[in-house]
């Protein structure tokens, strides 16, 4: 099924009238500011002349521009400034004085050198909300390391769950640190804006991708936290594939499914469905949910594997869906984007673009709640709204 267009939402959002000056690049900052733009903020993206955000150069492309860049920079206007030049710094200062929020993702110390740091911004706009997004934060022994997702994930413990095997930890297939940092940046900005309504005060947000992802690692870190607290650990939660009822399996046609048969009730229903009542254990309790299931593990794994290898992926999944059993297909990105569920949830929307034509982008999941301003506008071309620099004395509130 083809993806469907999302219906129009409300005309204004919760952040209408808020101005965001976006000095960020690549993923966490731009994804954050795109979300703020979805909520109605007027987002001005500032880029380096000639080169722009390095995300513009990420493959693959639509007709000309990067798919990646267009999916994290919608709903923005764009200008270029060479912040090594005094006159461009002066223009940046005028924009700062007329903004409510600044988001930047430079390495520690660079904003001070460019004279767009928090202290400078606060002098220009005392109630400014200033959000710095870096890999490891403004303090600590890792703070000067460039914040790429892989190296951030590597020190959170998330990649270290299988270090007792001979295999090297795989490179993660999802940029969890980037998106965790972006999510906390959004939450921080929204909370700061809400507080400002009461106190009139701005604030400085030190958003670390490391802190953000580490704060989400409570399952990974569970045993380590117990040991750190001096508590003996004899068992741990098993969610990394050793539990035969929570793992992935190949199917007859060489594809794969994800099996999630954790609870005894679901497991018992599955066993009855496949006529294997012998696999049901009357002694199973909730404490066995996230375990390897002891000496029954091999029996469980063989039964599930044999079943999966007896059918094609889609035939197996259709059978399970009809019986509300959580065995689901492992989709390729193409299958996911074009899936019926994505279409039903309106999670891909079609955007008219002045250069690319009509392009699909991933939608904001909060649109269905009426919290966004409607279908997202296109990402700006490099320096597209340069005329804003001549309007800074009477800065327009409405997005062009």
What 3-state class would DSSP assign to 80? strand
Shared-domain flag, residues 52 and 187: yes
First-to-last CA distance in the chain?
Answer: 34
The three-state (H, E, C) secondary structure of 103-164, written as one string:
EECCCCCHHHHHCCCHHHHHHHCCCCEEEEEECCCCCCCCCCCCCCHHHHHHCCCHHHCCCC
Give pLDDT, residue 392: 66
Please report whether residue 241 resides in a domain. Answer: no
Number of domains in the chain: 2
Element (H, E) at 76: strand 76-80
pLDDT tens for the chain, 400 residues long, are 333 333 333 457 899 999 999 999 999 999 999 999 999 999 999 999 999 999 999 999 999 999 999 999 999 999 999 999 999 999 999 999 999 999 999 999 999 999 999 999 999 999 999 999 999 999 999 999 999 999 999 999 999 987 877 889 999 999 999 999 999 999 999 999 999 999 999 999 999 999 999 999 999 999 999 999 999 887 788 888 899 999 999 999 999 999 999 999 999 999 999 999 999 998 898 988 889 999 999 999 999 999 999 999 999 999 999 999 999 999 999 999 999 999 999 999 999 999 999 999 999 999 999 999 988 999 999 999 999 998 865 444 434 3
The CATH code of the domain that includes 44 is 3.40.50.10540
What 3-state class would DSSP assign to 311? coil
Please report whether residue 85 resides in a domain. Answer: yes
Q: Which tokens is 247 given?
A: 């793992």
How many angstroms separate the CA atoms of 6 and 3, rounded? 9
Shared-domain flag, residues 32 and 181: yes
Give pLDDT, residue 383: 96
Shared-domain flag, residues 176 and 272: no
Shared-domain flag, residues 50 and 140: yes
Please report whether residue 149 resides in a domain. Answer: yes
Shared-domain flag, residues 169 and 301: no
Shared-domain flag, residues 176 and 41: yes
Beta bridge partners of 76: 43
Please report whether residue 251 resides in a domain. Answer: no
Shared-domain flag, residues 177 and 293: no
Q: Which tokens is 74 given?
A: 């919608």
Nearest by Cα to 361 from 34, 53, 47: 34
What 3-state class would DSSP assign to 307? helix
Please report whether residue 6 resides in a domain. Answer: no
Q: At what angle do helices 176-199 and 28-38 cross, to 10 degrees?
A: 50
Give pLDDT, residue 6: 36
Shared-domain flag, residues 290 and 376: no
Shared-domain flag, residues 190 and 291: no
User: For residue 328, how many other CB atoms are within 10 A of its CB?
Assistant: 15
Shared-domain flag, residues 75 and 137: yes
Shared-domain flag, residues 301 and 385: no
Starting from the edge strand earliest in sequence, which strands make up the sheet with 42-47, in order? 76-80, 42-47, 19-23, 101-104, 129-134, 203-208
Q: Tokens 């003996």 correspond to what residue? A: 232
Please report whether residue 247 resides in a domain. Answer: no
Give pLDDT, residue 234: 72
CB 42 within 8 A of CB 79: no
How many angstroms separate the CA atoms of 188 and 203, rounded? 10
Of the residues 303, 329, 355, the one at which a domain ends: 329
How many angstroms separate the CA atoms of 156 and 212, rounded? 10
How many angstroms separate the CA atoms of 340 and 111, rounded? 46
What 3-state class would DSSP assign to 299? helix
Nearest by Cα to 92 from 120, 61, 63, 127: 120
Give pLDDT, residue 11: 55
Please report whether residue 55 resides in a domain. Answer: yes
Please report whether residue 355 resides in a domain. Answer: no
Shared-domain flag, residues 69 and 164: yes
State the residue range of the domain holding 66: 19-217+365-394
How many angstroms separate the CA atoms of 228 and 246, rounded? 28
């Amino acid at each position: 099924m083809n993806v469907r267009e999302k219906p129009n939402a409300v005309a204004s959002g919760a952040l209408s009238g808020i101005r965001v000056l976006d000095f960020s690049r690549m993923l966490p900052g731009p994804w954050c500011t795109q979300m703020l733009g979805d909520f109605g903020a007027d987002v001005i993206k500032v880029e380096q002349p000639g080169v722009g955000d390095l995300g513009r150069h990420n493959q693959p492309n639509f007709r000309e521009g990067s798919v990646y860049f267009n999916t994290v920079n919608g709903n923005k206007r764009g200008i270029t400034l060479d912040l090594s030049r005094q006159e461009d710094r002066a223009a940046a200062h005028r924009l700062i004085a007329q903004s409510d929020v600044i988001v930047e993702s430079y390495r520690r110390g660079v904003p001070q050198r460019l004279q767009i740091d928090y202290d400078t911004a606060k002098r220009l706009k005392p109630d400014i909300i200033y959000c710095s997004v870096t890999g490891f934060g403004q303090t600590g022994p890792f703070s000067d390391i460039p914040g790429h997702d892989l190296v951030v994930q590597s020190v959170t413990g998330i990649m270290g769950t299988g270090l007792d095997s001979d295999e090297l930890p795989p490179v993660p297939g999802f940029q969890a640190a980037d998106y965790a940092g972006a999510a906390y940046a959004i939450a921080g900005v929204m909370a700061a804006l809400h507080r400002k309504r009461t106190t009139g005060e701005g604030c400085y947000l030190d958003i670390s991708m490391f802190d953000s992802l580490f704060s989400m690692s409570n399952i990974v870190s569970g045993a380590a936290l117990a040991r750190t607290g001096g508590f003996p650990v004899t068992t741990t939660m098993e969610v990394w594939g050793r539990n035969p009822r929570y793992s992935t399996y190949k199917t007859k046609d060489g594809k794969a499914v994800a099996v999630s048969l954790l609870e005894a009730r679901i497991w018992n229903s599955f066993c009855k469905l496949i006529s294997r009542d012998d696999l049901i254990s009357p002694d199973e309790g909730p404490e066995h949910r996230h375990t390897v299931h002891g000496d029954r593990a091999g029996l469980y794994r063989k039964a599930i594997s044999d079943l999966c290898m007896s059918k094609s992926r889609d035939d197996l999944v259709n059978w399970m869906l009809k019986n509300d059993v959580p065995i689901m297909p492992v989709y390729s990105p193409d299958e996911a984007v074009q899936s019926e569920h994505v279409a039903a949830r309106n999670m891909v929307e079609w955007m008219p673009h002045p250069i690319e034509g009509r392009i699909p982008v991933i939608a904001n999941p909060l649109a269905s709640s009426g919290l966004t301003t409607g279908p997202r506008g296109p990402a700006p071309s490099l320096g597209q709204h340069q005329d804003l620099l001549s309007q800074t004395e009477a800065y327009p509130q409405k997005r062009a």
